[in-house]
Amino acid sequence: MNQLQTMWSISRRKSLINCPRQYILRYSRSQRFSKNTQNIINFSLNDLVIRSSRKVIHERLEDFKNGLEWSEKMISLKIRLGVKEEISTERYSAIRNSSNLKNLIHSAKNRINSLWNTNIFRRIISGQIKQWSCMDRKKFLSNGHIDIFCSPDISYKIQKRWHLLRIDFQGELRNPSDELESLAMVNWAKKNNFLPYVNSQYIVNTLKFINGKWIHNRYLPTDDLLQQSKQLLEKDVNEMNKLVGKMGPLLNLALIPLSNNRYTCKKCSFKPSCPAKNGLRISKLEQNAIEYNNAKINFESNG
Ligand code: SF4
């Protein structure tokens, strides 16, 4: 039986938009397991390094709070350990000395260092921002039928306002839903006992790594925008369910659309077993032919 989709996160949304097949393979069946268990999701090495980097940022900040400064070597080591923790011993043995892993760790370390040079981080580290804390990204908000994973990475207070900051290692240059996606953090924060309930007490911030630079965006929540943000999430989960339904009872992956962008395929961990491995354009044409054939069979059998 198809699994009802009840979980929303920005990563799930990105996957749904960038490649429906990748969404199905990565997330659609992960829900029957514990919500804290991510290991069954097949992440690419690039994704694993990014997940590990996020943890490293939190750990480095927490250690900084306790007066411990990290060396460059320590940052690289921690990223590596984070990757190792998430995969099987066999997979780690196969990649541990690969130049791919070394390069990914090196570039992640550089991104973390440049994050430390952003205005927000400099103000935290210099003590200008005194009240701040790292948030647990695994904490979700439930709206009754959707579990929403949209916690900020860091919350901090400047004068009377709370800032919610999300860090995105793979920012996208043009994303028309940026604001509404980001404002989901306010709906999350309002359910947190330690944060205020009033919209006007929040400012939402995102730091996105795009074309080698951290880009800072700020958004102010209003009742109307927060409502639109909720609707966006509902619509996404509805689309996720429609997509899962499209596979039918036989879970036919051949009916699920492929990516529209060959750059998405480049970093995709499912590529070796995907029809797109032989070229995205030709696989899409083949898929259209299958869809046409199925529609014809349905038409003839109902006629
Ligand atoms: S290889 Fe490309 S088409 Fe296939 S699942 Fe990955 S992103 Fe989608």
- Mean pLDDT of the residues in the chain: 89
Task: Give the strands of the sheet with 161-168, arranged side by side.
Answer: 131-134, 154-158, 161-168, 202-210, 213-219
pLDDT digit string (tens) for 148-187? Answer: 999 999 999 999 999 999 999 988 877 889 999 999 999 9
35 confidence band (pLDDT: 50, 70, 90):
very low
Residue 260 CA, ligand 1 centroid: distance in Å: 9
Q: Which residues contact 142 (CB under 8 A, 6 or more apart)?
A: 148
Q: pTM for the whole thing?
A: 0.86
* Architecture of the domain delimited by 7-236: Alpha-Beta Complex (3.90)
- pLDDT surpassing 80 at residue 246: yes
Q: pLDDT value at position 302?
A: 67
Residue 245 CA, ligand 1 centroid: distance in Å: 19
Q: What gap in Å lies between CA 22 and CA 240, rounded to an integer?
A: 12
Q: Which atom of ligand 1 is nearest to the CA of 283?
A: 3
Among 14, 18, 19, which is best to mutate for testing ligand 1, by the most ligand atoms less than 8 A from CB?
A: 19
From the CB of 270, is ligand 1 less than 6 Å away? yes
Q: What gap in Å lies between CA 223 and CA 136, rounded to an integer?
A: 25
pLDDT digit string (tens) for 190-233? Answer: 988 888 899 999 999 999 999 999 999 999 999 999 999 999 99
3 confidence band (pLDDT: 50, 70, 90):
confident
Residue 128 CA, ligand 1 centroid: distance in Å: 45
Q: What gap in Å lies between CA 83 and CA 77, rounded to an integer?
A: 10
Q: Which atom of ligand 1 is nearest to the CA of 22?
A: 5
Domain parsing of the chain, residue ranges: 7-236
34 confidence band (pLDDT: 50, 70, 90):
very low
